[in-house]
Structure 1
Amino acid sequence: MAGVHVVANQKGGVGKTTVTVNLAAVVADTLGGTADSSPVLGVSTDPQASMLEWAERAGNELPFDFEQCHDNPKLLGKLREIKQYSHIFVDTPGSLENESILQAVLTQADDVIVPLEPEPLSFNPATRSIERVIQPAGVPWRVLLNNWDPRDGTADLEQTREYIAAKRWPAFNTVIRHYKLHTRAPADGVTVVQYAKNRVALEARQDFFRLALEVLGTGGDGPRHASAVNGVSSTNGG
């Protein structure tokens, strides 16, 4: 049975698709997948189909299998029954209008990754997503600080960490830094494991490899319920 990892935040533009694609690519690369036989499936449930466009540009070079499923609720309700893959990574819509899709996917999830950009305007939408949809689903979840640009300094990053701590939200140790490589990748049809071999590309890849270790439960505490901050944790290595 595949481990189902859902990337969710009902605010658009927080990097859900980038996180989903690159995390799926890193896990597939780590597990030794090939273009003909991948242990990883990427699923897009977003009607805007950004992940589909990225996958089409990548073509046969995409290191994982892919399905666009926003109009296939029957499949969304059976993700955990798929035996062909070790891990399934699911991109979700960035809109409250598609809440039913997110709710359907959460019934299949082993854990949820909630990308949060380190800026105050991102706080309220993330809070609504967590409190209205994700927490009621009873699925282990963690917040991911995403798209932080070190050139902006650490003030916003620290403020966001303080907000997360005040909310007593579980969070990943990994922070995904902002790189132009990430914003160019969809248009170029490449994933993080296919970046050019130079210092900047190596740093960009390292963030996602660290995140993959945490998601798979081998480089951190593993997925946790919100109650984990009170000393009760639930680990699922996928």
Structure 2
Amino acid sequence: MTTATASSGAQPDTARQTDSYVITVANQKGGVGKTMLTLSLAAHTVAAHGRALVVDVDPQANSYDLTRVMDDPGYEVLHELDPVQLTQIRQLRDFDTILVDCPGSLEGHDVLAEVLARSTYVIIPYDHEPESIMPTVRTVERVKASGVPYAVVVTKADPRLGAEYIMDAWQTLHSAGIRHFRSAIRLYRAWPNSLKAGVPITRWNERYAPRLREDIASLHTELLLDLGRRELGGQR
């Protein structure tokens, strides 16, 4: 691997053959909340007594760097610029979930295709801004063409705008024929504040931190339900 340094607050008991879920978080538009989703879902998996690995394939290495300075994140992290290595990681390490944080821009190189070939599911964050619509549509088209299951999640929703904002985002996605989660991730200062303090959001004590945790938990539950239905249908 290119930068195979791991950081973890919980060391694995033993390594065994496994077939972990590989959940890719991607959008060709930067700034839509990919790193927030990746790290929050990893922390939530650990809080639910699961084992998670974050694979950061972004040259900027935000997920990797933020995790490295955390106080006992509970999950492991790799900065891996060769997505092909995901095959080896998925087969040899004992993780329940591997979360892949993709670059904000995928133009000029085929990172997404390599990642999709090794993915179980794709979460596409969408912040419902005018400049995010077309990149999200293009990302969805590429994911659909790959045959990997996906859903878009509305992120960075301003809680002061109420449910109407989220409903409008869902209507925009529905009109474009884009599948989406019924969960949404609201925008609270608890997220950047927890990062600044080096504490996973699952352990951060701030007024609105529980609400952000509720959003992440809701998304995580929806994801697991969809994965379970697909397994029952033989679509994994």
Contact kept, 8 Å, 2:57 with 2:83, in 1: the verdict is no
Q: Where does residue 2 of structure 1 map in the other structure?
A: 20
Q: Kindly tell me: are residues 223 and 170 of structure 1, through their superposed partners in 2, closer, same or farther at Cα, counting changes over 3 Å? A: farther
Aligned pair 1:18/2:28, yes or no? no
- Could you say what secondary structure the match of 1:235 adopts? helix
Counterpart CA distance in 2 for 1:42 and 1:123 is: 27
Q: Write the deviation string for residues 91-144 of structure 1: whole angstroms up to 9, x where unpaired.
A: 00110336412211111111000000022221111011111x211111000000
Q: Write the deviation string for residues 38-62 of structure 1: whole angstroms up to 9, x where unpaired.
A: x211110110111111011105x11
Gaps of 5+ in 1: 33-38, 225-233
Contact kept, 8 Å, 1:119 with 1:157, in 2: the verdict is no
Q: Where does residue 69 of structure 1 map in the other structure?
A: 80
Structure 2 counterpart of 1:55, one-letter code: T
Counterpart CA distance in 2 for 1:235 and 1:50 is: 31
Q: Write the deviation string for residues 57-100 of structure 1: whole angstroms up to 9, x where unpaired.
A: 105x1110111102x34413434323411111110011033641
Structure 2 counterpart of 1:91, one-letter code: D
Contact kept, 8 Å, 1:2 with 1:82, in 2: the verdict is no
Counterpart CA distance in 1 for 2:111 and 2:69 is: 25
Aligned pair 1:115/2:133, yes or no? no
Counterpart CA distance in 2 for 1:91 and 1:98 is: 18
Contact kept, 8 Å, 1:4 with 1:80, in 2: the verdict is yes
Q: Where does residue 160 of structure 1 map in the other structure?
A: 169
Counterpart CA distance in 1 for 2:178 and 2:148 is: 13
Counterpart CA distance in 2 for 1:83 and 1:102 is: 22
Aligned pair 1:186/2:181, yes or no? no
Gaps of 5+ in 2: 1-18
Q: Kindly tell me: are residues 194 and 97 of structure 1, through their superposed partners in 2, closer, same or farther at Cα, counting changes over 3 Å? A: same
Q: Where does residue 28 of structure 1 map in the other structure?
A: 46
Contact kept, 8 Å, 2:53 with 2:98, in 1: the verdict is yes
Structure 1 counterpart of 2:214, one-letter code: Q
Counterpart CA distance in 2 for 1:95 and 1:143 is: 17
Q: TM-score, normalised by structure 2?
A: 0.84
Q: Where does residue 95 of structure 1 map in the other structure?
A: 105
Q: Where does residue 81 of structure 1 map in the other structure?
A: 91
Contact kept, 8 Å, 2:194 with 2:200, in 1: the verdict is yes
- Could you say what secondary structure the match of 2:31 adopts? coil
Contact kept, 8 Å, 2:140 with 2:178, in 1: the verdict is no
Q: Which deviates the most, 167-176 or 92-101?
A: 92-101
Aligned pair 1:213/2:221, yes or no? yes
Contact kept, 8 Å, 2:191 with 2:209, in 1: the verdict is no
Structure 2 counterpart of 1:118, one-letter code: H
Contact kept, 8 Å, 2:84 with 2:115, in 1: the verdict is no
Counterpart CA distance in 1 for 2:125 and 2:108 is: 18
Q: Kindly tell me: are residues 203 and 11 of structure 1, through their superposed partners in 2, closer, same or farther at Cα, counting changes over 3 Å? A: same
- Could you say what secondary structure the match of 1:179 adopts? coil
Structure 2 counterpart of 1:150, one-letter code: P
Structure 1 counterpart of 2:52, one-letter code: V
Counterpart CA distance in 2 for 1:182 and 1:156 is: 20
Q: Where does residue 235 of structure 1 map in the other structure?
A: 230
Q: Where does residue 200 of structure 1 map in the other structure?
A: 208
- Could you say what secondary structure the match of 2:95 adopts? coil
Q: TM-score, normalised by structure 1?
A: 0.83
